[in-house]
Chain A
Amino acid sequence: MDPTESDRPQVPLKAKERAPKERVPLIELQVREYISTFLWLSLLFGLTAGVEVPLDTSPKAAAVSLSKAPWVFGSIQYLLQRWPAWLSGWVLPLLSMAVLLTLPWWSEKLGGRLTWIIFLILSLVWVGLTFLYMLMG
């Protein structure tokens, strides 16, 4: 081997150019983790500085007629305003959760593509209802 060859600094290959099973030192991942952490914290501080979080209406103030839920339960609240409590508050959320929990078995029975479609429909319905609640109340 040419002795000068080993002295030459090795240019690291980009991740895409390497075989996916090739092993690399952890530091390469840590650098990416630090950059993502910085970006995520920037977004968090940006939201904190830019969007004020309001307080609730004081309990000692004149009573305001409210039927309110945090946005994470907006979808359930939207259904509760229209359908019976047992259906919109228990049956539909628990059924959806049961489908989510059994997704690996659905995949075995129906295949990955159909399972993805089931998951997508379920997600879009709940996310859609959340947006409906937030926009229409």
Chain B
Amino acid sequence: MGKQGNNSFMGHIRPRQIMTGALRLRATFCLGGFSFLAFLVLTITGVLLLFFYQPGVEAFVSLSELNSVLPYGGVIRSLHFWAAQMMVISVFLHMVRVVWSKAYRPLRELNWITGVVLFVLTVILDYSGYLLRGGQESGAAATIGQALFTSLPGGQALATIFFGQPSSFNGSTLNMYAWHVFILPGVLGFLQMFHFWRIRRDGGVRPL
């Protein structure tokens, strides 16, 4: 890479020098960084799970084979699960820290809104991952979500777009798979980059 001046994206995210204030643990408690780290672990383990997992009627069988037969399959699945739970918690705690330190106030309101959207997306991703487990519990959770959508005017179409046609015994569908694997993480990844860029632009400490 060429010169990392302040005008380049990398120079913006990773400047050669930083303010001493950014070194203090209390500035961020590393919570934003932990959330991003969780996202990275989820991306890596998620890609590995993609090689074996099959959405739809085969979801439960492929997951139980992955869990018990495939070498390190259970470890990768566990890493994926725990990283997801840790991401939800760290994003929430990050929000608490931002409000506590009043870092949401103008001129940073746009980044606050981005952060709230990121939190909502993280929770929806966690829910969609739960549905992909493909068992009776996921079927029950999908049924509840579907019922909530269909209670809205015109909600049947929305429910079909998001959930597909799950049964009460299996929440895993191709639609949910597409949302969980491609659409939601793609939007989340893009918004995270925007979030990091805005933190620096708004004059905040660089994210840990």
Contact = CB atoms under 8 A, between A and B. Distances in A.
Contacts, number: 175
B82 A26 contact: no
Interface residues of B, number: 70
B159 interface: no
Contacts of B123: 72-73
Contacts of B102: 107, 112
Given A55-B63, A70-B141, A23 B136 contact: no
B126 A70 contact: yes
B144 A80 contact: yes
Given A44-B83, A56-B137, A63-B136, A25 B23 contact: no
Nearest to B82: A47
B19 A23 contact: yes
B106 A108 contact: yes
Question: Chain A binding site: helix, strand, loop or mixed by DSSP?
Answer: helix
B179 interface: no
B197 to A, nearest CB: 17
A103 interface: yes
A90 B102 CA distance: 28
Interface in B141-167: 141, 144, 147-148, 151-152, 167
Contacts of A107: 102, 104-105
Nearest to B106: A104
Contact of A115 (B22, B81, B99): B99
A36 B60 CA distance: 36
Interface in A3-26: 15-16, 18-26
A136 interface: no
A63 B63 CA distance: 19
Contact of B116 (A43, A63, A101, A115): A101
Interface string A28-47: 11001100110011011101
Contact of A67 (B18, B106, B120, B144): B144
B104 A68 contact: no
Interface string B91-102: 010011001101
B78 A52 contact: yes
Interface in B106-151: 106, 108-109, 112-113, 116, 120, 123, 126-127, 130, 133-141, 144, 147-148, 151
A89 B167 CA distance: 21
B127 A21 contact: no
Contact of B20 (A23, A51, A56, A69): A23
Interface string A61-101: 10110111111110001001000011001100000010011
Nearest to B138: A56
Q: Which 9 A-B pairs have the closest CB atoms?
A: A56-B135, A20-B21, A104-B109, A59-B169, A66-B140, A70-B130, A15-B23, A57-B136, A48-B78
Given A20-B24, A48-B82, 16 more contacts: A15-B20, A21-B19, A24-B20, A25-B18, A26-B16, A29-B18, A52-B78, A59-B134, A63-B169, A66-B139, A68-B140, A72-B126, A104-B104, A107-B104, A107-B105, A112-B102
